[in-house]
């Protein structure tokens, strides 16, 4: 049948086209990004508005911003996810309300988070342009994805384990910490890595919260420039900055790829354990 074959070939063509596009972007990134890459690039602070020097101080700032976001979002996210997944204590209506508002929160554009973070953390709370402001803004952004992943991993724990814990007379707290948490740990790790990935990729929410300063940060109240903000600034505002922008982008994307590989590994181990 000719129309059958035509349809299938169109789909093959489209899909291979999508692959080719992605390959184009990745190869372009690697090719142009390799040029300035060196050990000094990874350890030194930028000089001459980023045209020279490296991204060492920005790696530190980025790590602090992401670390702050995770440190704040993980406990809140974990406890919220427990409430949603082990819902016996929560009314169904409350759980629906929490889920609904998280769905909307996860869709709020990142530039709006930037506006909010600037108004709330920088000005109202008086934290100024700082790593803390940026990290707290990102914490709000990654909370929905953390909660969703952790909730799913808790739901995947078989009910027999809860019943066994209950039959042994374990308290809810003990059951949570000794039974559910270990069983769900790989899923929690997946959520964690997804959250870190989201935070690393973020630009728009950070420009007006953690700011532009390229020095090595001294403490959490210092302004610190994230890698993604550096890429934007070099490409848009610094003539001759494209080379360094590409090198920074290569470092950023490599970090994200490593994260992605970790997620896959953890997810595979998780599903193997569930199957066993």
Q: In degrees rounded to 5, what are phi and psi of residue 255? A: -55, -45
Q: Cβ 133 to another protein, closest distance in Å? A: 13
CB atoms within 10 A of CB 262: 16
Determine which residue in the list 41, 51, 116, 128 makes contact with another protein, applying CB under 8 A: 116
Under rule CB under 8 A, which residues in 254-273 are in contact with another protein?
Answer: 256-257, 260
Beta bridge partners of 52: 47
Q: Which of 207, 210, 230 is nearest to 220 (CA)?
A: 210
29 binds another protein (CB under 8 A): yes
Cβ-defined contacts of 30-38 (< 8 Å, 24+): 30/250, 32/242, 32/243, 32/246, 33/246, 33/247, 33/249, 33/250, 33/251, 34/247, 34/250, 35/243, 35/246, 35/247, 36/243, 36/244, 36/246, 36/247, 37/247, 37/250, 37/251
Under rule CB under 8 A, which residues in 157-176 are in contact with another protein?
Answer: 171-173, 176
201 to 220: interface string for another protein, x by CB under 8 A: xxxxx-xx------------
Only segment of 35-43, 48-56, 62-70, 197-205 that touches another protein (CB under 8 A): 197-205
Which one-letter DSSP state was computed for residue 209? Answer: T
Determine which residue in the list 25, 42, 258, 268 makes contact with another protein, applying CB under 8 A: 25
221 binds another protein (CB under 8 A): no
93 binds another protein (CB under 8 A): no
> What is the total count of residues that contact another protein (CB under 8 A)?
91
198 binds another protein (CB under 8 A): yes
83 binds another protein (CB under 8 A): yes
68 binds another protein (CB under 8 A): no
In the bound state with another protein, the residue whose beta carbon lies nearer, of 70 and 147, is 147
């Amino acid at each position: 049948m000719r129309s059958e074959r035509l349809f299938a070939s169109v789909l093959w063509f489209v899909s291979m086209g999508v692959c080719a596009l992605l390959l184009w972007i990745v190869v372009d990134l690697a090719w142009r990004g390799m040029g300035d890459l060196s050990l000094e690039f990874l350890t030194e602070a930028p000089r001459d508005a980023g045209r020279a020097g490296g991204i060492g101080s920005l790696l530190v700032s980025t790590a602090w911003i992401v670390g702050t976001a995770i440190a704040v979002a993980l406990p809140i996210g974990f406890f919220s996810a427990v409430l949603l997944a082990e819902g016996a204590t929560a009314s169904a209506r409350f759980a629906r309300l929490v889920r609904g508002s998280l769905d909307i929160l996860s869709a709020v554009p990142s530039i709006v988070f930037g506006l909010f973070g600037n108004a709330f953390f920088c000005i109202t709370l008086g934290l100024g342009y700082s790593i803390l402001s940026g990290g707290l803004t990102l914490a709000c952004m990654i909370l929905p994805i953390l909660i969703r992943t952790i909730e799913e991993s808790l739901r995947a724990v078989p009910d027999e384990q809860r019943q066994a814990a209950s039959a042994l007379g374990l308290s809810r707290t003990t059951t949570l910490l000794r039974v559910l948490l270990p069983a769900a740990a790989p899923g929690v790790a997946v959520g964690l890595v997804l959250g870190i990935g989201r935070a690393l990729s973020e630009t728009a929410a950070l420009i007006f919260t953690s700011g532009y300063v390229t020095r090595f940060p001294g403490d959490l109240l210092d302004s610190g420039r994230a890698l993604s903000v550096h890429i934007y600034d070099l490409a848009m505002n610094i003539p001759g900055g494209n080379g360094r922008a590409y090198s920074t982008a290569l470092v950023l994307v490599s970090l994200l790829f490593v994260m992605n590989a970790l997620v896959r590994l953890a997810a595979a181990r998780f599903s193997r354990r569930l199957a066993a």
